[in-house]
Every structure is written in C-alpha cells, then in structure tokens.
Amino acid sequence: MSNYELYEHKKSDTVKWVLTLIAFIVVGVLIAGLIAGWFDKGDDSLPAQNEAATMQDGGISVTPSAANGIRLMAAERTTSDVSPFAETSYTITATIEPSSARQNANWSVAWANGSSAWATGKTVTDYVTITPTEEGSLTATLACVKPFSEQVILTVSAMGNADKTATCTVDYQQRLTVNSLKLGGGTLSTTSCGFKAQVDETHSMEIDYTYSEGTIPYLGEGDDGYDEFICAGIAFTDEFITAYNNANGSGTDLTKRMKRVNVSSEYAHTREVEFTDGAYGNTVFYTLLGGYLSDDKIAAMRTAIGEVGEENVFKVGIFKTTNAISSVYVECDTWYKLGLDLNTVYMATENISVNQSGVVF
C-alpha cells in the first residue's frame, strides 16, 4: 500500500469516527430534551387560564380566575341534596394533571379582603360554604347561604403538592326587593286586585324598594351600552287577551305587549300613568291595543271583561331595562294584579237625538 493510499484510509476512518461522535451527541441532546419536557409537563403543563366563563343566575356568580397546575370548572347544581338554607349552589370540579399524580385536593373559602368594613367580624362560611363530595375529592359543592357584600375567594390545592393551586372569585349580585307598589292610591298585590283603573283617567304609580347585600350592583350597564333602570311594565293578562280575541270578530287580535313606566330611583319613585285614549305611545290603551280606542275595541273589551272579571284585566311586573319606550313584552318572575272599572269602558258621547221633534197633547 502506497503512502497516499494509507493516508486516505486513515482520513476516512477519522471522518467516520467524527460523524459517529456527532450522532451520539445529537441523540443525547434529544433524550435530555424529552426527559426535561416530561418533568416540565408534570409541573407546569397547565396554563393559567379560565376554564369556564362567569356563571350567574341573579345570585352568586363564580369566575375561575387563576390556576397553577390545577384547572377549575363550575356548573350550576340541579339536584336537591343541598342544604335547604342554600339559595344558590354550584358543583366545582378540579382537574389535576398528569393523571398519574395524586388525585386528591383540599378546598377552602376566604374573604378577598377580610379587613374590609363589611367583612370585619364576619365568618365567611356563614355566607358561602364549600363541601367536597368526600374527603380529598376533586369535586365539591359551593353553596350561598345568604347575601354578602365582600368578594369571596375559593381556593383548591393539590394534596400531592400544596404549591399547585387554583382559585376562583365568588360574587353576589344585588337583588331587588319591592316593599310596596301602589297605583291610584291603592296597594297592588300578587294575590288580589287592590285597584281598578278607569278609562280616560291618569293614575299615579308609586314604588318603594330596597337592594339586598351584594358585591355586584343590581343596576349596571346594558348590552346596548346604556345604564339600566327599574321599570314597571303593565300588560293585559293572558286570560283577557284570549277572551278579547274571541270577541273581536274580524278585528286585529291582541298580542303580548307592555306599557313601560320608568320608576327608577335615578329619576323618581313616582310616575303618572295615562289610561286615556291618547297616542304617541304614552298611554296604556294606545300601547296595548296598538292604536286608538274604537267602538269595535270597546265592544270587545266589555265582552272580555264580562268573561274574565274586572279584577283580571291587567298585570304589573317590575324589571330592569335600558329602554322605557319599547313595547316589547317582558316575562317577569312576579306579577301584581290590576283591574279595570267596566263602568268606564265606553265611548264618549258624540250626539244625542229623540225620535220626535215635538209633541202636542
């Protein structure tokens, strides 16, 4: 073998060894990366994100807000195996990953600011309770016992690693309590008719109300960007609408409509309500009947009132809205009874005549 051939042979062997060494290094780096990724996954694979949007039903609202290795989900309870003192409850579910980690958790609730003027001296579990399905369970029942005005923080931590936690905020939206509702000086009731309106009269409506405790105000900003206010809605009862439509012959049938009256404390607690034949959407009859009173409408109204009774003509509901002009019907949880005096349901006299021009005895 010549010196040249020997040199080329040695050179070839050197290249092979270098390439082999590089391959080993690459494989080693990949393996190290996989191992590091595996352990990282066990610690921090769960991003800090909200698993469920805020849930709210007019009482408590639950919003998952922070996560460090544990995820939280909330679902409103539909079962009845909750304390009878609870007005609202949710099932809260924690998720711990990886699945090979210890699947147990600790649950707790605390005031967001225990030194606030409202929370000072108050025990959080007198207002909100968290009860795991069983000790260490990943599911628990969050229940609201009574209204509260300081935000509550729910915390769940992994038993296998207490540093891994998730939290969610718990709020209570104020509720409206109607202490009294009057029209024309009569107090309206949900069980009996306290007043019968009269056609061509303007009656004064007066409301007295208060708000419950809460961390979220009852009135806020509507979806349309305008501020909400409290509104009284006057509508015909379902029974009256059915009786009227059966009696109106070829006339236009009534549909569910509502005359709205702004009674919010932002403006006043008293409003004048016109039961006249005026137009422009400012009167009860023009709004609910879809136009002026006519002989045919009066006749159908009298027939319907005779069927359902004077005390079952109107109903009044209280709700919050951003629009007092709309006649869109709103289904309210509570309705107050309002009647209509049949003796006032007639057309105004336009002419009178007798069948004789004179009489001679």
Report the pLDDT value the prediction gives residue 332, as an integer from 0 to 100.
Answer: 95
pLDDT band with cut points at 50, 70 and 90 for residue 220? very high
Neighbours of 284 (CB within 10 A): 24
45: pLDDT strictly greater than 90:
no
DSSP string, 65-99: EEEEBEEEEEEE---S-S-TT-SEEEEEEEEESST
Q: Whole-angstrom Cα distance, residue 334 to residue 308? A: 20
Q: Say what percent of the chain tops pLDDT 90.
A: 63
Count of Cβ atoms closer than 10 Å to residue 171 Cβ: 20
pLDDT of residue 67: 65
Confidence class for position 269, pLDDT limits 50, 70, 90: confident
State the DSSP code for 311.
G
User: Helix, strand or coil for residue 229?
Assistant: strand
pLDDT tens for residues 296-306? Answer: 999 999 999 99
pLDDT, mean over the chain: 82
Which residue is it, tokens 């403006």?
Answer: 267
Choice between 131 and 1, residue whose per-residue pLDDT is larger: 131
- d(Cα 7, Cα 276) in Å, to the nearest integer? 117
Question: CATH fold of 55-172, please?
Answer: Immunoglobulin-like (2.60.40)
The reported pLDDT for the residue numbered 267 is 66
Identity (one letter) of the amino acid at 308? Answer: V
For CA atoms 259, 264, 268, 269, the dihedral sign is positive
Greater model confidence, 295 or 7: 295
Q: Please tell me the least confidently modeled range out of 18-32, 45-59, 155-169.
A: 45-59
Domain ranges in the chain are 55-172, 176-344
What percent of the chain has a predicted confidence (pLDDT) above 70? 77
